[in-house]
Amino acid sequence: MDPITIAAMLGLSAMKNASAADREKRDRMVSGIQESVSPWTGMHGQAVQSADPFGTLLQGAATGISLSQGADQAAQQKALNEALINNISAQKQMTDFGGIPAKQVSPWAYAGR
């Protein structure tokens, strides 16, 4: 697992949590204003979603781990694909004997040359 990816996702989730805290503060203020003028408007304060710093950081860590594992698997798949391509080209070079597949050429065909 790549610690840089995990740290980056933790940093992004910390920034997300800061914006969630600001949003919670603003929503509480709006709800308070609605409650204070409710006798005239008939409106009531709405439920405010609380910021969850621990949950946000856990979500960021889980996302970072998932992205890191995906990157590792992609690198392994790329190495496997390159190895297969190299193996196929090596087999092609071994089986090509002057443009004729090796199993169709007699081993004695070029013995006198």
- pLDDT, one tens digit per residue, over 19-61 is 888 888 888 888 888 777 777 767 776 777 787 888 888 888 8
Distance CA 81, CA 70 (A): 16
Task: Return the pLDDT at 100.
Answer: 56
Q: What is the pLDDT of residue 110?
A: 58
Q: Does residue 98 come out as left (phi exceeding 0), alpha (psi in the -120 to 50 range) or beta?
A: left
The three-state secondary structure class of 112 is coil
Contact assessment for residue 48 and residue 31, using Cβ atoms and an 8 Å cutoff: yes
Which of the pair, 49 or 112, is modelled with greater confidence?
49
User: What are the residue ranges spanned by the domains of the chain?
Assistant: 3-93
Q: How confident is the model at residue 16 (pLDDT cuts 50, 70, 90)?
A: confident
Query: Which single residue is written with the structure tokens 């997300």?
Result: 16
